[in-house]
Amino acid sequence: MWVTLSLESRFESIEIAERALVDLLAGHGIEDDEQYWILTALREAIANAIRHGHHEQPEERVRVDFRVSGIQLSIMVLDQGDGFDSSVIPDPRDAENILKPCGRGIFYMRRFMDDVTFRREPGGGTMVSMSRRLTARAIKE
Amino acid sequence: MKQQIKDVGDVRIISLSGKITIGAGDVVLRELINDSLEAGHTKILLDLGGISAIDSSGIGEMVASYTSAKNRGAQLKLVNLSKKINDILQVTQLITVFDVFDNQEEAVQGF
């Protein structure tokens, strides 16, 4: 079953999404350590939607969907922004980038989830889809 | 995010607890470092022992603070990193940028 949230574009909204995902993950027996990295990826995706997609305009809604199916966690974050070319995101570890104050969010998302894709939605907006294979021993049947 | 500030000799120690995340702790961190630099402190130690979470904005503020300090001839060092914060710095290779210490005493002597 999908959990769906429609959030105002305020950074405080990230906490709401975090709490909902913690409830879902804890309910499936996912340990704190694994939760932490998943929540980091979620935070980055929503923060990008609020800051870059909606330019912090609170009335613009960020839609967040997530579910656990078997041992697979899926998270989707949809904003109404113009999107960007995810193939040209600079590597923050490169010498010319390492001291830049920004540019690590997508890197963290890709690092802590197994798969991260960005696509323009036909009706407008940008969808970030992330998935991760959960630690099988933690999953409650 | 909560903070405690104390001076040990000529080292300003800023101890933080809570989250350094977008829209909240990241701004506070920037202000704390800027205030210390404005006050003339040249040795700043950031104690992250109480930090439960940090995101890319928090990391970005730490990097910006490091650069601000360096540009003013000051130094910013880190102490008491949790394993998760250490991991976050490792994956982006920022661990090679910051001087990191296990405890405050060692860190103060490291300036």
Residue B78 is part of a domain; what is its CATH number?
3.30.750.24
So what's the pLDDT on residue A3?
96
- Supply the CATH classification number for the domain A3-138: 3.30.565.10
The answer to whether B55 contacts A44, with C-beta atoms less than 8 Å apart, is yes
CA separation for the pair B105, B45 (Å, rounded): 11
Report whether B46 contacts B71 (CB < 8 A): no
Per-residue pLDDT of chain A (141 residues; tens, 9 = 90+): 899 999 999 999 999 999 999 999 999 999 999 999 999 999 999 999 999 999 999 999 999 999 999 999 999 999 998 877 777 889 999 999 999 999 999 999 999 999 999 998 888 899 999 999 998 655 554
Q: Which residues of B touch A104 (CB under 8 A)?
A: 56, 59-60, 92
Q: Any chain A CB within 8 A of the CB of B34?
A: no
CA separation for the pair A51, A124 (Å, rounded): 17
So what's the pLDDT on residue A55?
94
So what's the pLDDT on residue B9?
96
Residues of chain B with pLDDT under 70: none
So what's the pLDDT on residue A88?
84
So what's the pLDDT on residue A123?
80
So what's the pLDDT on residue A140?
53
Distance from CA of B28 to the nearest CA of A (A): 15
**By CA distance, what is A101's nearest residue in B?**
B60
So what's the pLDDT on residue A24?
96
So what's the pLDDT on residue A137?
57
Which tokens sit at A2? 């999908």
Name the β-bridge partners of A78. Answer: A63, A127
Domain ranges of chain A: 3-138
Q: What's the whole-model pTM score?
A: 0.92
Report whether A43 contacts A18 (CB < 8 A): yes
So what's the pLDDT on residue A83?
78
**Closest in A98, A104, A107 to B97, CB measured:** A98
pLDDT tens, residue by residue, B67-99: 999 999 999 999 999 999 999 999 999 999 999
Q: Which residues of A touch B27 (CB under 8 A)?
A: none
Q: Please state, for a pLDDT cut of 70, what percent of chain B lies above it.
A: 100
Q: Any chain B CB within 8 A of the CB of A39?
A: yes
Q: How many domains does chain B have?
A: 1
So what's the pLDDT on residue A141?
47
So what's the pLDDT on residue A138?
56
Give one word for A128, left, alpha or beta, with left for phi > 0 and alpha for psi -120 to 50.
Answer: beta
The answer to whether B55 contacts A40, with C-beta atoms less than 8 Å apart, is yes
So what's the pLDDT on residue A136?
63
DSSP code at position A10: S
Query: Quick one: three-class SS letters along B44-97?
Result: EEEEEEEEEEECHHHHHHHHHHHHHHHHCCCEEEEECCCHHHHHHHHHCCHHHC
Which tokens sit at A13? 């909204």
Name the β-bridge partners of A6. Answer: A63
**By CA distance, what is A111's nearest residue in B?**
B91
CA separation for the pair A2, A46 (Å, rounded): 17
Give one word for A80, left, alpha or beta, with left for phi > 0 and alpha for psi -120 to 50.
Answer: alpha
Q: Any chain B CB within 8 A of the CB of A101?
A: yes
Residue A119, SS3?
strand
Domain carrying residue B52: 2-109
**By CA distance, what is B92's nearest residue in A?**
A93
The count of other CB atoms within 10 Å of the CB of residue B32 is: 20
The answer to whether B53 contacts A102, with C-beta atoms less than 8 Å apart, is no
Q: Any chain A CB within 8 A of the CB of B49?
A: no
**Closest in A14, A47, A107 to B92, CB measured:** A107
Find which of B33, B55, B94 to mutate to test the A interface (most A CBs within 10 Å of its CB).
B55
The answer to whether A111 contacts B66, with C-beta atoms less than 8 Å apart, is no
So what's the pLDDT on residue B60?
96
Q: Any chain B CB within 8 A of the CB of A44?
A: yes
